[in-house]
Structure 1
Amino acid sequence: MHPEPIDLARRLVQGRFPDALAVVLAGSTATGRATASSDLDIVVLIGDGGETRRETLRFEGRLVELFIHTRAGLVELFSADVAARRGVLQSMYATGLVLVDTGGEAGRARARAESDLRNGPPALKPETVETKRYGLTDALDDLADADDPFERLAVAGVVLNVAADLLFDHHRAWAGGGKWLPRRLLEADGERGGALLQGHRHLCETGDPVLLIDAAVRILDLVGGPLREGYCRTWRGVIESVAAGIGR
């Protein structure tokens, strides 16, 4: 790893957080994926009198994402990341480069993060899985019927995301969004996740939905198969967005 971003992170932290309890340089810089334009992701644990927040700034010409939290804030954020089935902050602590570790604070946070990651995310409720099955089935029907290329691409995005979420849940694997969606898909299930990604890419390149449909149907079969007639959901004051907005 090139030492420059590490030195830059240390200078930033020493100037802005001289009393930090723990500092971890995370993200692509810590994992060796960084490019010259990559931002720096820095996790900062501060004393209990501080404020838990996220802040973006530019330091010495480099874009920096700061994830700042107190001990209590860290507990809340870890719990929120588990509930969201993402484990983002846990991954930062577990895989990042420790720059500051006052009194073993970074080590304790890393141990808790690693424990959360080992335990995995909570399973989706059965009714949520059912709603996602229904939404994916509907989207696949739309995809098979779509003649408009823009509509086809839009629906393909729905298929990719909902099928991925069902596959993550099937394996009790951590979910991901953006660039983390393909990374975590391949970690969770290289065969089915890879087929889903290849099908989506093939559709984007050629307009042909067959590979994506086949890959998504294989995932549907893992969780009970397609769902159309017989689906019923009682109104409880909340719209389940997976099934909303994608009907024909």
Structure 2
Amino acid sequence: MKNGQRLSALEAAKKFIEEYFPTCDAALLAGSVVRGEATATSDLDIVIFNESLPNCYRESMVVFDWPIEVFVHNLTTYKQYIESDKKRARPSLPRMVTEGIVMKDNGRLIEIKKEAKALLAKGPDKWSAQTIQMKLYFITDTLDDFLGATDRAEEIFIANALAEHIHEFVLRTNNQWVGSSKWVIRALKQYDEAFTASFIDAFDSFYKTGEKSKVEILVDAVLAPYGGRLFAGFSIGKN
């Protein structure tokens, strides 16, 4: 603390690393404070690399009046986590590594950052035709439930599921990474701001007024290039 004021993000991160991980090989400060998107409740995301650790872990704490999430890896586990992120198409660790401000480095981070940046640029694995068909079916089924629902509580949560499905479908069929929570919108904006505006408008209109037509139009527009809604003839596991 200086004159009763909280340390800056950089100062707090530097001090945290010095006190809690003095022997680490490398460390990064990532997250919203680095992107200039911090809010009053933002925390510090700190990634630690320590070759001598037997395993990885994640820990949350409050230090120097900052909520801090620390992601601790050795030089093997971070590769496993990056591979896991790739499979689920949500590149949390690669994004933190790529955007992170270097707070400490013994020479390892150049290659680690290069790996992460290349992965982000390449995008997730392409969906198969079979996967696209399956997603079309489930989106159609969810849309039907949404349009037919008359219970307001059910409508809200079906709409939530439909928004998740559409966000995933649009991004994955265009070789883009997906997100969760606030990253649903961030990932969509990174891909196509105009579509994102229509997406937000459609669901916001439903949540405010109960009107479903904009959502239906949006979904049909997304599905149209892939043959539109799919129900009759869809099958899984039939010999």
Q: Which residue of 1 aligns with 2:3?
A: none
Q: Is the partner of 1:121 in helix, strand or coil? A: coil
> Counterparts of 1:108 and 1:222 in 2: how far apart (Å)?
40
Q: Residue type matched to 1:173 in 2?
A: Q
Q: Which residue of 2 aligns with 1:184?
A: 187
Q: Which residue of 1 aligns with 2:145?
A: 142
Which deviates more from structure 2 when the two are superposed, residues 169-178 or residues 32-41? 32-41
Q: Does 1:59 align with 2:63?
A: yes
What TM-score, normalized to structure 2? 0.93
Q: Is the partner of 1:122 in helix, strand or coil? A: coil
> Counterparts of 2:62 and 2:75 in 1: how far apart (Å)?
26
Q: Is the partner of 1:71 in helix, strand or coil? A: coil
Q: Which residue of 2 aligns with 1:28?
A: 32
Q: Does 1:168 align with 2:171?
A: yes
What TM-score, normalized to structure 1? 0.89
Structure 2 vs 1, CA of residues 3 and 113 (structure 1 numbering), >3 Å: closer, same or farther? farther
Within 5 Å, which residues of 2 pair with 1:1-248?
4-102=8-106, 104-234=107-237
> Counterparts of 1:46 and 1:223 in 2: how far apart (Å)?
47
Q: Quick check: 2:127–2:173 contact (8 Å CA) kept in 1?
A: no
String of CA shifts for 1:149-171, please: whole Å, max 9, x gaps.
Answer: 11111111111011111101111
RMSD: 1.7
Query: How far is the alpha carbon of 1:3 from its aligned partner?
Result: 6.7
Which deviates more from structure 2 when the two are superposed, residues 141-150 or residues 37-46? 141-150
Q: Quick check: 2:53–2:73 contact (8 Å CA) kept in 1?
A: no
Percent of aligned pairs sharing the same letter: 26
Q: Quick check: 2:7–2:64 contact (8 Å CA) kept in 1?
A: no
> Counterparts of 1:187 and 1:35 in 2: how far apart (Å)?
20
Query: How far is the alpha carbon of 1:47 from its aligned partner?
Result: 1.2
